[in-house]
Amino acid sequence: MSTHVNDKNQPTMINVGAKQVTRRVARVQAIVKLPRQVLTIFKGGELRSRKGPVFQTAILAGIMAAKKTSGLIPLCHPIAIEDCTIDIRLNKKKEAVIECRVEAHHKTGVEMEAFCGATVAALTLYDMCKGLSHDIVIKDIRLLEKTGGKSDFPSPRPSPGGRGSKSLPLSPRERVGVRAR
């Protein structure tokens, strides 16, 4: 049975009143496949379109979306986000890898905030580059990590160079994109 349905089978918000406040962290990743026409504007770690710096604009849009999640997803609790970071880089396949990390001390998790942040960043990237090509594909939006609740979900990111299954930070050589806090 869904946690968002009451005994009358009607949608309901989960009552978190009796839960303890804990440190909640979630990381979500979205992949955006960029066609050749879009990659021609990639210079100095940034896509520069006629609309402006694409990655920087996508980062701001993603952060704004994470802060407004409860207004977008009907049964989400409003959460005072303490930290939201969005990282955008190109992987070896020349796809934009967007990772949104959200942190808060709260009675409920922040994974939906991280999902909104990563997804809106991806949508913004599409919007700013669609004048160059409509072959942009947003794919593989997934939870990487969720901690602080009764059921943590660690899912290590694929490690470049086969360094094992642990989630390791990218080296400066592996990083191509930008990061904002």
pLDDT in the model for residue 135 = 97
pLDDT in the model for residue 13 = 84
Alpha carbons 64 and 56: distance in angstroms, whole number: 13
Alpha carbons 125 and 131: distance in angstroms, whole number: 11
pLDDT in the model for residue 151 = 87
> Which of 27, 53, 84 has its CA nearest to residue 177?
53
- Reported as a single tens digit per residue, the pLDDT across 119-134 is 999 999 999 999 999 9
Binned at pLDDT 50, 70 and 90, residue 107 comes out as: very high
Domains of the chain: 22-149+176-180 (3.30.70.640)
- Reported as a single tens digit per residue, the pLDDT across 48-99 is 988 899 999 999 999 999 999 999 999 999 999 999 999 999 999 999 999 9
Tokens of 89: 């880089």
For the question of residue 127 being annotated catalytic, the response is yes
* Options 7, 83, 87, 127, the catalytic residue: 127
Average pLDDT, the chain: 86
Alpha carbons 74 and 10: distance in angstroms, whole number: 13
Alpha carbons 61 and 121: distance in angstroms, whole number: 6
Alpha carbons 7 and 159: distance in angstroms, whole number: 44
Reduced to 3 states, what is the DSSP secondary structure of residue 163?
coil
